[in-house]
Amino acid sequence: MSKTIVINPGTGDLHTGFERVTVTLWTADYPLPEQFLGSLAAAPDLVELYRNWQLIYQRLCDRLGGGADRLAWRSPVAVVEDEIEIEEDGITNVSAVSFTELCDKLQQGLNKWLQSEAFLNVSRQLRSQLTPDEEIRIIVETNDELLRRLPWHGCDFCRDYPMAETAVSQLEYKRTRSSVRAKTSQKVRILAILGNSQGIDLESESNLLANLEEAHTKFLVNPTRAEFNSQLWHPEGWDILFFAGHSDSRGETGRIYINDNPTNNSLTIEQLEEALKAAIGKGLKLAIFNSCDGLRLASALEKLHIPTAIVMRLPVPNRVAQEFFCYFMQAFARERLPLYLSVQQARRKLQGVEDEFPGASWLPVICQNPAVEPTSWQKILDAC
């Protein structure tokens, strides 16, 4: 039995606060929700804490994670600065100790903000409806760029409910009707795009996908735009879209690097819009972009009303991307855990590499369409 909490902060930002926060609780055994209202005060300190956290993360991982040649990242160039402006003054000494302290400060700041008096009654109401042994999906429904990047997974609420996992969503979403399609095999259909891999290794991910007995995986290695587009239009459709390779964000747009050609080597989601709409209409349930700085990619996919996307919130070292996907697929496809708990388990296991790659467990983000129930490996097989 699962429950879903949708938090809509309403209008405002961290500098001015959110006067009307709507929290909706959905339960699997009842068709109508409960709703609670509260407010959240201004928290400009969270803006500064996040900016400093991001800057130190990028500097520290570049130094400790083999990024000196700038090829150990799943980004096509140097570890890119985010669109959120970062003040570098005063941040000169970078160490794992100072980064850990900053992680704690950012998490404490987020918890303090969520425990403010004006929001405390909402928290009490929710807790009265929940038990620690329930699977709980928490979706933060906002278009605010910084709110989507905060480490919601580490808030006290999630610590008190060990089967709770967080996601973000856009404000506008709808349910896309999937057409009935005839499959030629009773397997999960995966379209795997292995794009530009200069300086990184995609072998572990491709081997894992190739050895999934219950899946039919179509590999496109360094495809052209036309080849990628054509496969998205495949009449049998796809259940899962997987991309591994380089990606980045520029301005408001995410970009994936699909091949290493001198020209025509990258795409935005918008350049595949019609094909992606067709794939979603044929039953595409999950997109995984195991590449750098994917929240812009996810935002574009959410506008097409994809059910669920999994991305990395910042530039990701190659090894972290590899291990996350391995852990996720072990939980999702082999242990048959629900999608949210599969991401949670994979994220928690990434703590094991944080001596070498600080902040690794903070990188994965679920982007959810609240109008659609998240899929599972077993659900996909049962529908075959």
Higher pLDDT, 37 or 88: 37
Q: For position 295, what pLDDT does the model report?
A: 95
Mean pLDDT of 364-372: 97
Mean pLDDT of 29-53: 95
Task: Say which CATH number the domain at 267 has.
Answer: 3.40.50.1460
Domains of the chain: total: 1
pLDDT 10s digits, 199-223: 899 999 999 999 999 999 999 999 9
Q: For position 80, what pLDDT does the model report?
A: 40
Q: For position 252, what pLDDT does the model report?
A: 79
The reply to whether 61 falls in a domain is no
The reply to whether 148 falls in a domain is no
pLDDT 10s digits, 80-90: 444 434 344 44
Question: Is the predicted pLDDT of residue 319 greater than 60, yes or no?
Answer: yes
The reply to whether 355 falls in a domain is yes
Q: Indicate the SS3 state at residue 180.
A: coil
Mean pLDDT of 124-132: 95
pLDDT 10s digits, 237-273: 999 999 999 999 877 789 999 999 999 999 999 999 9
The reply to whether 155 falls in a domain is no
Question: Is the predicted pLDDT of residue 360 greater than 90, yes or no?
Answer: yes
Give the number of other CB atoms < 10 A from CB of residue 134. Answer: 16
The reply to whether 7 falls in a domain is no
Q: Average pLDDT over the chain, rounded to whole?
A: 91
pLDDT band at 29 (very low <50, low <70, confident <90, very high): confident
The reply to whether 178 falls in a domain is no
The reply to whether 2 falls in a domain is no
Q: Is beta strand 215-221 parallel, antiparallel or unpaired with respect to 240-244?
A: unpaired
Q: Which domain holds residue 360?
A: 188-383
Question: Is the predicted pLDDT of residue 68 greater than 80, yes or no?
Answer: no
Q: For position 62, what pLDDT does the model report?
A: 67
d(CA 254, CA 369): 19
Mean pLDDT of 149-166: 96
What's the pTM?
0.93
pLDDT 10s digits, 133-145: 999 999 999 999 9
Residue type at 239 in one-letter notation: D
Q: What are the structure tokens assigned to 252, written together?
A: 């408001």
The reply to whether 228 falls in a domain is yes
Query: Percent of the chain at pLDDT above 90?
Result: 79
pLDDT band at 77 (very low <50, low <70, confident <90, very high): low
Q: For position 239, what pLDDT does the model report?
A: 97
Alpha-helical segments (H) within the chain: 44-64, 96-114, 117-127, 145-149, 156-160, 203-210, 225-232, 273-281, 295-303, 318-329, 339-349, 377-383
Question: Is the predicted pLDDT of residue 367 greater than 90, yes or no?
Answer: yes
> Nearest CA to 339 among 305, 318, 364, 315?
364
